[in-house]
Amino acid sequence: MCIKEVKVAGYRSLRAIRFPVGQLTVFVGANGVGKTNLYRSLQLLQAAAAGSLARELASEGGMESALWAGRRTGNKPARIKLQVGLALDAADGPGRGLFEYGVEVGVAHSYEVEVGVRVPTAAAFPLEPQIKEEMLVDHGGRRPHPLLERRGPRATAVDNDGRKHAVAAELLASETALGALQDPGRFADLDTVQRTMLDWRFYHDFRTDRQSALREPCLAVTTPTLASDGRDLAAVFATLAHIREDTVDLDHAVDDAFPGSRLVVPAPDRMASFGLIMPDYPKRVFAAAELSDGTLRYLALAGALLGYRLPSFIALNEPETSLHPDLLDPLARMIVQAAQRTQIWVVTHSERLADAFAACGAVKPRTVIKRDGETWLEGLKLFGEFGDEDE
């Protein structure tokens, strides 16, 4: 399932925003406009599917730090609302809208979760996030049909036969119902949505220092998808070279970025490793430990984007970090190629990288701005579409 639309309200600089997501989505903007908050909102939705949303928000400093930082109107309680609309695949035709009065965006299922602070009588820590409401809705029929509903500690779910069941006698306020429900045989639709969200992969923390796991051999285990921190990069390359026996795309990406260079992946025994032969030293294999930070980071991105099996959704946060400007055009081409196999979301502050995407003709980068203190996207209309989409 692919992401069709995202809505976030009350989270840091995101007062209230709703926007469509395509096969390749690129956000570009200056530092401090809230690009990372957009990226982080998808991570929080994944944490809800994993049952760790409260812990993730607590790691940010609790609700005091995570809540919308601007002025609030009225006497409504302070809440963070996260919502995602999913479709069966990117080629789905129009379907029912994600929101009751919204436009049609081809959504098959929508999941939303609402988080607030504890009430004075609740058994919880003072700044601990509390799950207030959850809902998973099936939009595939003649009218939207709730599959999961949660209000406070109680939740119900609809099984494969259309019967409603209590998820648990009483959920803790720090638990999501979607994360707590573990019965794929009875709740197939819920399981599909949960597994889809858990399959998302976020790449933003490739360490390239001397102690980085990228620089070390790793266990030789067939690895179709790169770990979020890149620790199994050598195994990903070995899987392509010696299990799939196809490194055409990988070799092209390396030569595109480093003309005349060649990736070397020895047949592994207990450990997998890799190195790089450069044109100036044709008989010398430079091990991963010897490579520059930028070269190693580019290779890690190649492992993330060209693996044997890609996740259903890949998010890249400032992938240009540590890369020489000459690598940005090859990086954009590699991302565009990978977007033919999976859905990709890129957040960058590099105008040159954004221009490289535009030059490829694959996507129009969206500029992230601050508008009266809140994060917004240039050209985005209040009803959640971009004004130039017809163009």
Distance from C-alpha of 265 to C-alpha of 5, rounded to nearest angstrom: 40
User: For the segment 315-351, what is each residue's pLDDT rounded down to a tens digit?
Assistant: 999 999 999 999 999 999 999 999 999 999 999 999 9
Cα angle 295-301-306, degrees, rounded to a multiple of 5: 120
pLDDT at site 120: 57
- What domains lie within the chain, and their CATH numbers? 2-22+33-200+368-377 (no CATH), 203-360 (3.40.50.300)
Q: Which residues of 51-76 are buried (b: 16+ CB within 10 A; e: fewer)?
A: bbbbebbbeeebbeebbbeeeeeeee
Q: Is the pLDDT of residue 297 over 90?
A: yes
Structure tokens at 152: 């406070």
For residue 267, give the DSSP letter: P
> Is residue 37 within 8 Å of residue 11, measured between CB atoms?
yes
How does pLDDT run across 242-296, given as a tens digit for each residue? 999 999 999 999 999 999 999 999 999 999 999 999 999 999 999 999 999 999 9
Residue 367's H or E segment, with its range, is: strand 366-371
Given a cut of 60, is residue 390 above it in pLDDT? Answer: no
CB-CB contact of 370 with 34 (8 Å)? yes
Q: Are 218 and 197 in contact (CB under 8 A)?
A: no
Which residues are bridge partners to 366 per DSSP? 27
Residue-wise pLDDT tens digits, 167-215: 876 788 889 999 998 888 999 999 999 999 999 999 998 999 999 999 9
pLDDT of residue 124: 61
Nearest to 150 by CA among 137, 163, 162: 137
Residue 106 has a pLDDT of 65
DSSP-derived pairing of the beta strands 24-28 and 343-348: parallel
- Between 313 and 117, where is the model more confident? 313
DSSP state at residue 258: S
* Tokens 């779910």, residue located: 157
pLDDT at 234: 98
Find where tokens 């492992």 sit: 303
182: Cα separation from own chain's centroid? 23
Read off the pLDDT of each residue in 23-45 and give the average, rounded to a whole number. Answer: 95
Query: The sheet that has 262-264: what strands, in order across it?
Result: 262-264, 275-278, 281-287
Q: Per-residue confidence at 235, pLDDT binned at 50, 70, 90?
A: very high
Number of neighbouring beta carbons within 10 Å of residue 305: 26
pLDDT band at 227 (very low <50, low <70, confident <90, very high): very high
pLDDT digits (tens, 9 = 90+) for 50-103: 999 999 999 988 888 899 988 877 777 889 999 999 998 644 333 334 333 333
Over 60: is that where the pLDDT of 105 sits? no
Cα gap 149→364, rounded to integer Å:
37
**How many angstroms separate the CA atoms of 136 and 113, rounded?**
9
Residue appearing with tokens 């989505």: 25
Q: What would the pLDDT profile of 146-171 be if each residue is shown by its tens digit?
A: 999 999 889 999 999 999 998 876 78
Q: How far apart are CA 360 and CA 350, in angstroms?
A: 16
Number of H helices, E strands in the chain: 10, 19
What CA–CA distance (Å, rounded) separates 281 from 278? 5
Q: How many CB atoms lie within 10 A of CB 337?
A: 16
Please tell me whether residue 348 adopts helix, strand or coil conformation: strand
**pLDDT score at 70:** 83
> Angle at the Cα of 69 (from 65 to 70), degrees rounded to 5?
170
- Does residue 375 surpass a pLDDT of 50? yes
Q: pLDDT-based confidence at 389, cuts 50/70/90?
A: low
Residue among 37, 126, 23, 21 at smallest CA distance from 335: 23
